[in-house]
Structures are given as structure tokens and as C-alpha cells.
Amino acid sequence: MTYVNCLAALLILAVSIVPTNGLTHPISDVKPTTSSEPAAAAAAAAITIPLHKQYVPVIRNNRTVMYKTAYYGDVFVGQPEPQNFTVVFDTGSGNLFIPSSKCTDGPCSTHSRYERSLSQSAVDVDHDGVETPRNVEDRDQVSVSYGTGSIVGEIAREVVCFRTDAAGAAVDGSPLQGVCTRLRVLLATELTQEPFRAFEFDGVLGLGLESLALHPEFSFLGQMVRQNQLMQAAFGVFISDTDAVPSEITLGGIDSRRVAGELQWADVANPELGYWQMRVRGVFVGGEALELCQAGDCVAVADTGTSLLGVPRQAAQRVHWLLARSVSGDPQEAIDCRGQPGPDIIIDLGDVKVTIGAADYSRPAALRVVNNKTQETEVICRAALLPVNEEPALGPKTWILGEPVLRKYYTAYDWHQKRVGFAPALQPATTGLEEASARHRVVGAPPVGAPTPTVVHI
């Protein structure tokens, strides 16, 4: 029995579906998959997918201190009876996995599971892609580790579809009505408790570059652009700043409705690693240049699956210190720190300078510090940052451009020219959105109102 190991960061994103009916256009200088197809045809082939959202509380000392978020959605696997799964669209990994019906323990019991007997389109294969007879007990097993958690599974060559009707709403009809792609799929027979127990999504669909996949045939995006000749070799991500409006991912182009201004591009550094990573020329916090990145050897990874801004661990304490600020007013009054002013963070990517403010990076709940001797109280607002450990592939100076950046900027991922585009996100009005809201769901939303502060006595 063969075991293969792969290390990738689990970066969480989401789904449901809608063709764009002319609202999506190709990125201006991204080449179509085949030069014979006009740009308009490529635009028409793009699919915009509204995203579901889940809040997962982070609990410390029996109280919720913050929430992680996950964005996920629907794919349909197999023919002629497509099986529906929800998956995270993850720019930090390169393979697609869904739970198998052979997985009966732990978190698998709470998720949809793939039933091999229902699919006539599946071909069982070994790790080398060689077809194996059906119902063989001793099959190759693949082990894939993520930033948190891991899976073990078997391999099948299978058809994966996004099913839409002509009007653009997700339907339960033939999978041939939507974009379908044949690729190798990991059918998980084991899932770790964390993180899969806490989240509602069933699996992960990797959107990293092809070298991040176990084999090119595992790469969904690579297979999609090869098999769907009208689609652009690109996708775009929009993260909504309100739960009333669905976030979206667009496959095969960008959605011009969600972009305010021209896209500015940063080239992918070391694309052979498979990550959407860019070189960082410098990082500035409140106008102060961080010494860590002054040599220009930091990198930033655009990550559709991280809830926070990721900061190299060796710089995290300094950045926290620079972003912390004292808040005036009644110290007993509950406040939301996202509404309190604070210094900007500027990440210089060369032709692109990504700027996020206190509303983007702040932890909602304040810290209330009580001096036991004087009984004086100070209210402090802090940043919510993710310390990033050194990884062999990415090194010790890696920043993660997670949800705080993706919410402020529409991001485009150019598979052909290996670059990432940034433009200010155009947030739509929240009125008249009943139809859009019906296409996505929000799970575990926190209560409305200012969060309860954390109290510390010194």
C-alpha cells in the first residue's frame, strides 16, 4: 500500500452558483486559453459563485474572544446522479478532496459522503494514475496535511460540475448544464477532528498553482482551463463587508460589478512552489518601516482561507505593540474597536501598495485594564493578527494576506501570467438584495451589538 505525503496551508473560502450574463469580463491582458476564441466568448463562459459563510467561535476561559470565518459552497460530483458537496475554495492547496462513504468515524459522520456505487463516470486509479479494478480492497492511500488537520484517502478520476440554469440560479438538473471538469479526486477515508469537526463544509478544492498539486491531473484549475476552452485562465475573489450581501468567487474572469478602479498587478514569486506569493519591498506600520522587511526579502501570500492578517512570528510582538492604542471616553462603556481610529498598515508589493486600517485589522472586543491599586481603568484596542511560523517552502518572513485584505480589495488570480491583481472592492448597496441573499446562507453569526470587553486586573 503506497502512502504519499503533501504539505499545504489550509486557507478557507466558499460557494453556490450563477453565470454572470455579461457582467463578468476577461482581465484586459490575460490571454484566452486558445487564441481563436474572442474575449467576449471567454467572458460569457465565466461563472460567478455566491459564497456561504460560517462563523466559528474562538473560546478562551469559557468565553468567546473572537470568531474565525469560513467561506464554502457547492460542487456536484459524478454522473448520472450528481452528488452534492460543499467545499472550501483554497488558494493555499492544490487538490480536491471530499469525504468517502468508507469514512465512518469522527467528523465524517457529520458531512456528506461520496458513494462510489452511484457514479458511472468514476474511474478508480492508483497514485500513478493507472486504472485499478473496482472493489479492490488494498488500494493506494494518499495522505495530505494542511495548515491545520490532515486527511487520508483513495483516488478516483471523476467529473466535477457547477450546475446552473440559463437564468443563473443553482438548480438540481443535469450537470451538463454547468461547467464540468474531469480530474483526479481524493476520496477521504480518514479526517482529523480539527478542523473538520467544527466546520460545515465537506471538503477542500485547491486553487493553488499546478505545482502545488500531487500531479497536474489533481489540479482543478489546470484541468478546467484545458478542458473548457472558452474559459479564461483566471479567477477573482470578492469578500463582502456585510452578511446581507454574499461574497463571491468568479471562475474564468473577474466580475466588473465588484471592482472600483483598475487592477494593479504583482508578479508571483517562485511560482514553482505553487503558492500565490509575491515579493514584499517593505512594510510600514503607522509610518514606521519594519526592520524585518527592509532588505526586500519578505513575501506575502494571497490567501482566500485565512480569517486574519498573518504576520511573521518574529515580527508579531512588535506589530501588536505598534497597533495597540488607548481609547478615551467612559471606560465602562462597551465599544467595537473596529470603529476606533488607529494606524494604517502598508504592505509594499512594488506596483501595488496594499493598505489596511483599524477597521480591517482590529479585534472587535476591547481590553479593559483595571489597576488594582488605583482602581483606574484603561481601555485598549488591539489588532487581531495571526503569527506565521516558518515553513520550509515559504521561509521565516511570510505575511498572509487573509480576509482583512481580501475584504478591502478585489483580488484577481492570473493563472497564465502568474500574477495577482488588486483593486478596491466595490461593495454593493444592501437594499433590494432579497434574491441575492436567498442564494447564500450565514451560519453562526455573532450577536448584534458591541462585544463584551476582556477585563484584566494588574
Q: Which of 112, 271, 36, 214 is nearest to 223 (CA)?
A: 214
Please report the pLDDT score of residue 307 as a whole number: 87
Q: What is the pLDDT of residue 434?
A: 58
Mean pLDDT value of segment 344-354: 97
Please report the pLDDT score of residue 292 as a whole number.
97
Q: Is residue 44's pLDDT more than 80?
A: no
CB atoms under 10 Å from CB of 90, counted, come to 29
Residue 185 CA to residue 162 CA, distance in Å, equals: 15
Check residue 20 and give its pLDDT: 34
Dig out the grid coordinates for 181 from the structure. Answer: 471538469
Rounded (10°) CA dihedral 245, 247, 251, 255: 50
Question: What is the reported pLDDT for 36?
Answer: 41
**Structure-model confidence comparison of residues 437 and 336, the more confident one:** 336
Is residue 387 classed exposed, middle or buried when 0-12, 13-18 and 19+ CB atoms within 10 A define those classes? middle
pLDDT at 180: 87
Question: Phi and psi (nearest 5°) for 281?
Answer: -80, -30
Tell me what pLDDT residue 12 has: 36
Query: Are the beta carbons of 401 and 244 closer than 8 angstroms?
Result: no
Grid cell locating 348: 509594499
| Amino acid sitting at position 319 | V
Residue 433 pLDDT exceeds 50:
yes
Neighbours of 233 (CB within 10 A): 23
Q: Is the pLDDT of residue 105 over 90?
A: no
Q: What's the pLDDT score for residue 431?
A: 63
Q: Residue 26 corresponds to which amino acid?
A: P
Residue keyed to cell 515580527: 315
Question: How buried is residue 59: exposed, middle or buried, by Cβ count under 10 Å (0-12/13-18/19+)?
Answer: exposed
Q: pLDDT digits over 181-204, tens only?
A: 999 999 999 999 888 888 999 999
Check whether the bond before 19 is cis (ω within 30° of 0): no
pLDDT tens per residue across span 404-432: 999 999 999 999 999 999 999 999 887 65
Which pTM value belongs to this model?
Answer: 0.86
Of 19, 87, 77, nearest to 54 (Cα)?
A: 87
Q: Which three cell numbers stand for residue 412?
A: 484577481
pLDDT tens track for 51-90: 899 999 888 878 787 888 999 888 899 988 899 999 999 9
- pLDDT for position 318: 97
What span, in angstroms and rounded, lies between the C-alpha atoms of 301 and 291? Answer: 20
Note the pLDDT of residue 394: 86
| 246-262 pLDDT tens trace | 999 998 889 999 999 99
* Residues contacting 429, CB < 8 A, separation 6+: none
